[in-house]
Amino acid sequence: MIKGIIHFSHHLLNEAIIEGDTVIDATCGNGHDTLFLSQAVGSSGHVYGFDIQEQAVINTKQRLSEYQLTNATIINDSHSNFIHHIPVDRLTRLGGAIFNLGYLPGSDKSMITKSETTILALEGILSHLKKNGLIVLVVYHGHEGGDQEKENLLRYVQLFDQKLYHVLYYGFINQKNNPPFIIAIQKRT
């Protein structure tokens, strides 16, 4: 059956990352993806979660605590600054990353992700991503500023050299109200 957006994003990452990998939750929000990643990489792996909103950091830490998971570091900073927070030895095992773009559900809808910082983060993550590593962007764009971010990201990823990266677009075209979609980037070399 056709998988929903979140289920498919997790399916893709589950195929790409292995136990012991380092992974990034670039927008940890309420901690659902951080929890998934933490379980996927196991006790020998590590998750670095980022969010600019303190409430998201609190929510994510609480969710991990409920499951007694200790293999994650949650950081109150922009994903574009990830390089300042991850030790070099962990960067060599970077197997994947996920972004949920838009705003924190249940919070201030004027505080949104922006393509400028997302693209900076993508460039840095791609430079450290291991072969066959995967970045998944779940793009929510039905809010003010969302269409601009969507257009900028689509223009950016369409320029990727097909010899170096596979870039996938996955979304539902018959749903109303600006349904989210996935951009997945797999490093080939």
The domains of the chain, with CATH numbers, are 5-187 (3.40.50.150)
Report CA 73 to chain centroid distance, whole Å.
Answer: 15
Q: What percent of the chain has pLDDT over 90?
A: 90
DSSP letter assigned to residue 2 = P
Check pLDDT > 80 for residue 114.
Answer: yes
Rounded CA gap, 166 and 157, in Å?
10
Quick one: pLDDT at residue 106?
80
User: How much is the pTM?
Assistant: 0.96
Residue whose C-alpha is closest to residue 136's, from 83, 176, 180, 86: 180
Render pLDDT for 117-161 as a digit per residue (tens, 0 to 9): 999 999 999 999 999 999 999 999 988 889 999 999 999 999 999
Query: How far apart, in Å, are the Cα atoms of 25 and each of 1, 105, 159?
Result: 27, 16, 24
Q: What is the pLDDT of residue 110?
A: 81
